[in-house]
Structure 1
Amino acid sequence: LQHGGEDAGEAVKLSQLSDHQNELIAELSAYREQHAGLTEVLGSTGLLQETLWQQKQELIRKLKEKEALEHVLEKERAVFQTTQIRLNSLEHQLMEKDDIQK
């Protein structure tokens, strides 16, 4: 009887070990799924960071281009104002000359 009791005890232990093994396998599988999900999220995050960096560089380039165009425009505006002043002066001189000749 004692030998049969030992077999039953070992069967229970084996069953418990098998159950524990199944739990560990299920837990490992869940961790693997979680890891795969995190890896995917990290990959997506890396891609988003790269895209944002590229967009930032593009905006910086456009800002520099805009600043350069504004500088050119300021120079052209100054030349235009100088030309306008000269033109007004010439018109005034012509009007004075016409008044003198009359």
Structure 2
Amino acid sequence: MEDTGHYHFALPRYLLDRRYTVALINPTTTDLTRKLQGGITKNDPLDSLTICDVIGSNPRKKPYRITKVNRFDLYEQKQLTRHHHNLKEELNVYKNPTSEMY
């Protein structure tokens, strides 16, 4: 499946909990492949076929990465850490008003 930030968390978590192998592919890779194949239309059925084309295209250089439960947990922690950092930065704007506000 495509690695689409936090949007794909539920399905891989479900599959990993049931001991399935989950491979994540960069959405830019599928988009580029679709464009190289002359595709203009983008929808879920066509994206599924494009993902299959990408995975089967080059057996030596894998255009995806296999995700394991422990890696997925670290990925979630990284996302939470980034969100926490952004919230702290936003809070600092309100705690440290500039002279322009007065």
- TM normalised by structure 2 equals 0.31
Instruction: From the CA coordinates, give the structure whose radius of gyration is larger.
Output: 1
Which of 1 and 2 has higher RCO (CA within 8 Å, sep 6+)?
2
Higher strand share: 2
- Between Structure 1 and Structure 2, which shows a larger proportion of helix residues? 1
Q: Could you tell me the TM-score, scaled by structure 1's length?
A: 0.31
